[in-house]
């Protein structure tokens, strides 16, 4: 992948339409610590895409997660992995490198994170910004989504990154967090995660109170109360 003067191949848009993916983009990750391809080089870019959650289910967890949400979480993650694997295989058939990032795998239990933040790829792909709840917010679906990422060296036009918050003065998610884990700060590109989220307080609360849902990996209250998601429910 070279620079933003490249043209995104038409087959990529057709593939996303076929997979019923409405929101996607190509991220420039040349200045980020991405995984290595088969030749040992860092991937310079990624295709980022969003799969929406069912609005009624998301609206139903404003006071805490439930089994319907846990099942939806699994369903959407499985769908993301399916699309990502198909896309990576198709890119490789075009004789480019590609690597699908799993939808939800905590590969670093100490720092409580995965191999690479899906949200970083998504902001760089122009999909949205990081809210005060440390989740991606999109204009189309709010934060009622989950994200997929496929690293690649395929030639394509990079999107214009989103580099600032559009949450305004809203702090609804901060007040709703039962763990008191949200710091209340507005996001800007490059901001460390701990300026937005006390991840250990969040993780501890979920394991102590919601262990029955994927061993405490599910909560979703902060996202459920986000006005951008609630707008989608009203629509």
**Residue 199 has what pLDDT?**
96
**Residue 109 has what pLDDT?**
75
CA distance 17 to 19: 5
Residues near 143 by beta carbon (within 8 Å), at least 6 away in sequence: 131, 133, 135, 136, 137, 223, 226, 228, 229
**Residue 2 has what pLDDT?**
40
| Helix H or strand E segment including 107 | none
CA 156 to chain CA mean position, Å = 21
**Which residues of the chain are modeled with pLDDT < 50?**
1-4
Whether pTM exceeds 0.75 = yes
**Residue 5 has what pLDDT?**
63
Give 51's strand partners: 146
**Residue 108 has what pLDDT?**
74
Q: Please provide the DSSP assignment of 134-160 as one string.
A: SSEEBTTTBT-EEEEEEEE----PPPP
């Amino acid at each position: 992948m070279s620079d933003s003067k490249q043209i995104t191949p038409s087959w990529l848009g057709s593939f996303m339409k076929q997979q019923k993916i409405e929101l996607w983009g190509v991220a420039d990750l040349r200045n980020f610590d991405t995984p290595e391809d088969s030749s040992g080089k860092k991937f310079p870019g990624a295709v980022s895409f969003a799969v929406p959650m069912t609005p009624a289910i998301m609206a139903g967890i404003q006071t805490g997660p439930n089994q319907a949400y846990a099942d939806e979480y699994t369903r959407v993650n499985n769908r993301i992995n399916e699309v990502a694997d198909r896309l990576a295989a198709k890119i490789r058939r075009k004789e480019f490198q590609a690597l699908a990032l799993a939808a939800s795998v905590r590969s670093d239990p100490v720092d409580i994170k995965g191999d690479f933040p899906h949200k970083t790829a998504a902001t760089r792909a122009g999909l949205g910004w990081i809210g005060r709840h440390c989740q991606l917010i999109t204009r189309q679906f709010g934060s009622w989504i989950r994200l997929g990422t496929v690293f690649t060296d395929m030639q394509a036009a990079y999107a214009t990154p989103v580099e600032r918050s559009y949450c305004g003065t809203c702090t609804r998610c901060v007040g709703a967090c039962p763990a008191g884990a949200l710091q209340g700060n507005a996001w800007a590109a490059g901001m460390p995660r701990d300026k937005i989220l006390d991840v250990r307080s969040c993780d501890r609360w979920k394991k102590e109170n919601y262990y029955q849902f994927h061993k405490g990996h599910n909560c979703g209250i902060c996202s459920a109360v986000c006005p951008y998601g609630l707008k989608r429910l009203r629509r």
